[in-house]
Structure 1
């Protein structure tokens, strides 16, 4: 596949003034741009059971793939050899049914949380029970209530859920264990003058993840190369920046009497997916505008690895356009889903 790898540099580290900012926006003088390391992937699974895969996660010995729910919403694949093990879920609004499946969060070696943004609902699935043939492997469903409009959501503790979305008073919404709203916390993202808060939130929307063991969250901004790191209390800890250091391109508009985010072909895509391990945040990077890559700007060509202090530590160039990524707990293997030339789950050995 022919493509351009933006900002590639061979054989040197380039000193830079990138911002790995704290809450006050102070620069980190130790920041640098790592050399781009090319990765060569192999197909872990490319069978015809895949439709248009949307998301990917890792739990225990399995890779889990969220798909357009026709006929199934979730696929379970063996990490070791790519064997197709099971499918589960279908299109609909009842238990075990999905409109979309954009979030897969490990809940230990046996279970995963699945997030359906269209239904604002989290589902807890026991994967080991599914593979054992249990008639009902679904352990819990949880609808996030209130007037908020969550776009991504994660389970952080036995009593706390956090989501990012179109909120007007803060960056993160927190919910109790029953899905009832508690509060909205964190500073609003930077915005152009006279920009309504909900429009700024839309411009800086992105994938929300949590640290596997510490009270930390991160958002990879979809239309900027910006990674925000928060405490679960909503405190902004730091902001990591990618090599291009760009912000969303948009204009506040009014449509049907409501404020909206106005965009065009110059809208650039930044971190289109984000995955967290104990020591790294892996951000799938596009860098392309709609005009530069029509219909494919939301697919990533690089993976940027940050530490939890917001410092860019590594850059990897992929040999395929990827929509979503996941990394094994040891940080040795990266998994990605592609759509073309045929839907597949790819496996890449990571250079550390």
Structure 2
């Protein structure tokens, strides 16, 4: 009997000693959040269909959604009257058109978009978006290097995901010229090829619009906070401590990678700066489970020093959101049972 206990102890110690891990990481659990709040959502009803939005931004009383499957991709609603104000921004490759617009950061002083397909950044006056179906940007820049899925702005710099194996972030001047390459991939016990690495560490990031970035990874429950000079401030893992595993696949001269689906889990999505802290959706579900949903029912708040602050439990699960800090409201997108906008008071 004693030998069985000894074998079990050796197995446990071996698992702790030789399990995968990140370097210079601090772990946290759900118990580390200082505040836990349940939020009851309210579904907003408008005079027009919201269609199938992929993301949204709130500018005072205006809600703007992006809809890729519509000819006019920006749909603008008045939150007070619940009426649609305009549809604008034609899909195409013309001078004032875009193919895959996404919002740049969370700065509410301007409407800044970049086209994922062309890496062109365009700034618009809100009044122009309200009046015209094909608004003319008041400022635009063609970024020197192609960026991937996510962009932000700090002062006179644009920042974008590189999707390259050496560095994760490009920085550009307002004229689009490349300035720097920042932030290596997380150092861990797992060995990746270049193509495995860029796929495994798919992430979104937000900034405090001054001097810090928060990288929130989608397939490992890891958050990294960096200074604008690329210095690591804190690397956090939690609350479930899982990793992402990919395998390189060769098809003739084409090299791709695919995930280990048995160990694949969803982690963090849609980070959003709210001033002295940031919020990010947490999922934790496994796509292979029968009960899997990519919608998130938990929203975590962290200080810009990486300290867990508030854990919000959402009544209506969402996949993207924005925050009206002035009025303490969160607006999210859900597609269950159909697409709708949900409002939370926080």
Normalising by the residue count of structure 1, what TM-score does the alignment of the two structures yield? Answer: 0.81
Give the one of 139, 153, 157 matched to 2:151: 153
Matched, 1:182 2:179: yes
Q: Give the drift of 1:129.
A: 2.9
The size of the alignment, in residue pairs, is 325
Give the structure 2 partner of residue 67 of structure 1.
67
1:333 is aligned to 2:329: yes
Normalized per residue, the structure richer in helix is 2
Partner residue, 1:113: 112
The answer on 1:291 being equivalent to 2:291 is no
Correspondence for 1:143: 142
Does 1:274 pair with 2:278? no
Aligned to 1:312: 308
Change (3 A) 1:293 1:91: farther
User: What residue is the counterpart of 2:100 in the other structure?
Assistant: 100
Tell me the secondary structure at the aligned position of residue 188 of structure 1: coil
Select the residue among 201, 206, 209 that pairs with 1:204: 201
Alpha carbons 2:147, 2:160 under 8 Å: kept: no
| Residues in 2 aligned to 1:331 and 1:196: alpha-carbon distance in whole angstroms | 46
Pair member with larger Rg? 2
Contact 2:96 2:135 in 1 (8 A): no
Q: Which residue of 1 aligns with 2:88?
A: 88
Q: Per the alignment, in what secondary structure is the counterpart of residue 297 of structure 2?
A: strand
Aligned to 1:12: none
CA displacement 1:299-351 (0-9 Å, x = unmatched) = 2221111111112211112223312011112371111011232221110011x
**CA distance in 2: counterparts of 1:74 and 1:241, whole angstroms:** 36
Give TM-score scaled by structure 2 length.
0.82
SS of residue paired to 1:268: coil
CA distances 1:194-219 after superposition (whole Å, capped 9, x unpaired): 4123432321121122213x211222
Inter-partner Cα distance in structure 1 for 2:251 and 2:172: 30
Counterpart Cα distance in 2 of 1:199 and 1:130:
41
Contact 2:234–2:305 (Cα < 8 Å) also in 1 = yes
- Of residues 133-142 and 238-247 in structure 1, the stretch that sits farther from structure 2 once superposed is 133-142
Equivalent-residue separation in structure 2 for 1:187 and 1:98 (angstroms): 31
In the alignment, structure 2 segments of 5+ residues that lack a partner are 1-21
How many Å separate the matches in 2 of 1:199 and 1:258? 14
CA-atom RMSD, angstroms? 3.0
| Mapped partners of 2:44, 2:96: distance in 1 | 26
- Check the 8 A contact 1:242/1:312 in 2, yes or no: no
Structure-2 change in CA distance of 1:39 and 1:334 (3 Å): same
**In structure 1, the residue corresponding to 2:220 is in which secondary structure?**
coil
Q: SS state of the match for residue 128, structure 1?
A: helix
Q: Determine the C-alpha separation between the residues in 2 that align with 1:135 and 1:163.
A: 26
